[in-house]
Amino acid sequence: MSQQHTLNRPIESTPDDSLLGKVTLYPESYQPDVLFPIPRQPNREKLPVPLNGVALGVDWWHVFEVSWLSATGKPMVAIARLAFPANSPCIIESKSLKLYFNSLNFKTFDSAVALADLIVSDLSPVAGAKVGCDILPVDALLPVSIQQWQPASLCLDDFEPAIPYSWNQSIPADTLLGSASHTTENQPEEYWYYSHLLRSQCPVTGQPDWGTLQIRIQGVAPDPAALLAYVLSYRQHQDFHEHCVESIFADLWTILQPEKLMVSANYTRRGGLDINPCRVSHLDWLPPPMRLSRQ
């Protein structure tokens, strides 16, 4: 390993201090110290609304390259589903997580349960909150389409953006959201939207991140063309997956002022990982974790 990090590193660590974008050797022995935290709070301080008082949610990660040794020395493979609570002080940088899972490839476990217990005990102190971990068979995550899961959802990609956007725009434009029609208090209506056109960039490497965005909203009817223009304004924006979803949630909550809101994104796989942040205003709107067809 070209560089080591320890679990007691200062909370002020930045992505530039991580292994992201650096040449590294893949570990062949157990190395939990490679895990690298990214604090959530610096990003949240930039949002138009204090997210900690509004949004709840989970960041679901699917780790497709999980392997360890059985008690007899036989290699085993599986998929891990991780659940990071949105109120955890930190996210974990993805390359460090990939290196961590690779460090388990030659470690012996009596069972998948023992593996999951170790993963939870290693990840939770770094995230600052209890992390969930399920070890799943490699064929357990059957992909679904948006229309299979939510048939009434409206695809924003079928519209033309309401306002032209600039390819060189690096800061998302919340002004593109325009206005929304409010429904009556006695009969608040509910709307579902999705777009496969979400694109942002890694804040360290500049690599593109692709995802499917889902929005569930109650009390207001946003203009689909305006929503699409807003989604497209993220194409050159550099930020982590979780931060993008939180920014979208905060803008929709502040500008459209709905009664209830859910924003989630299913990002496509990179390096054996896919990341699926979800933020909700009410816990009863938290959807189940899923794997979309494009992932």
Mean pLDDT of 48-76: 94
pLDDT score, position 212: 98
pLDDT of 94-145, one tens digit each?
999 999 999 999 999 999 999 999 999 999 999 999 999 999 999 999 999 9
Look over the chain and give the mean of its residue pLDDT values, rounded to a whole number: 90
Name the more confident of 124 and 175: 124
Mean pLDDT lowest among 16-25, 49-58, 101-110, 209-218: 16-25
Average pLDDT over residues 155-177: 82
pLDDT in tens, 253-287: 999 999 999 999 999 999 999 999 999 999 999 99
Residue 19 has pLDDT above 90, yes or no: no
| pLDDT > 50? residue 43 | yes
Which domains does the chain show, CATH number per domain?
Answer: 15-136 (3.30.1130.10), 146-285 (3.30.1130.10)
What confidence score (pLDDT) does residue 8 get? 40
Question: Could you tell me the CA-to-CA distances from 141 to 85, 194, 267, 289 in Å, in that order?
Answer: 21, 21, 15, 10
For the entire predicted model, the pTM comes to 0.89
Percent of the chain exceeding pLDDT 70 equals 89
Catalytic residues: 202, 209
Does pLDDT of 1 surpass 60? no
Q: How far apart are the first and last CA of the chain?
A: 30
What does the DSSP assignment read for 106-166?
T-B-SSHHHHHHHHHHHHHHHHTSPPEEEEE-TT----B-HHHH-TTPEEGGGS--SS---
Helix or strand or coil: residue 269?
coil
Look-up of token digits 């062949």: 28
- Asked if 30 and 214 touch (Cβ cutoff 8 Å), the reply is no
**DSSP conformation class of 286:** P
Dihedral sign from CA coordinates of 132, 137, 139, 142: negative
- How many H helices and E strands in the chain? 6, 12
* Stated length of the chain: 295
Please provide the DSSP assignment of 240-255 as one string: -HHHHHHHHHHHHHHH
Average pLDDT rounded to a whole number, residues 216-231: 94
